[in-house]
Amino acid sequence: MTLAYGMPEYIAPEVTNNEGVSYGADMWSVGIITYILLSGISPFRGANDRETLKKIREGKWDFDDRWKNISNEAQDFIRNLLVYNVDKRMNVRTALAHPWFNYIDSSPPEPYRIPSENLKNYYKLYR
């Protein structure tokens, strides 16, 4: 498998297992991107591509202390996208109807600034 740009962390488990690419794989990537944007870290990134792919194949991830101020709806959105079994993963229609999107036009009751330090460190790794 050749990895474009050395960033395999967006690859869905079924792709790493040579089961093919589908819209479900794209939804996995949406989950990864959302996770990174809200926390500044990647749930599967390893020290190198091999370690990253191993973590993806294992499919284990969690929400650490960085997530204590992130809404339950946002966490649920990600939780339903980063489902190892592609058949149980949220599809695009369900994702667009997710309750988290009900908050798009409203201000949060208690605004929380997501620290940008982790995201800055994340991007430094690719320079």
CB 43 within 8 A of CB 58: no
For residue range 10-65, what is the model confidence (pLDDT) as tens digits?
999 999 888 888 999 999 999 999 999 998 889 999 888 999 999 999 999 999 98
The band of 117, judged by pLDDT with boundaries at 50, 70 and 90, is: confident
Task: State the CB neighbour count (10 A cutoff) for residue 21.
Answer: 11
Say how far apart CA 70 and CA 1 lie, in whole Å.
Answer: 35
Residue 82: closest CA among 20, 39, 23, 30: 30
Residue 36 DSSP SS3: helix
Q: Residue 65 is part of which domain span?
A: 4-124
Which of 2-6, 7-11, 107-111, 118-122 bottoms out in mean pLDDT, i.e. has the lowest? 2-6
Count up the domains in the chain and report the number: 1
Q: What is the pLDDT of residue 116?
A: 73
Say how far apart CA 52 and CA 94 lie, in whole Å.
Answer: 28
For residue range 70-85, what is the model confidence (pLDDT) as tens digits?
889 999 999 999 999 9
Say if residue 7's pLDDT is above 60: yes
Its pTM surpasses 0.85: no
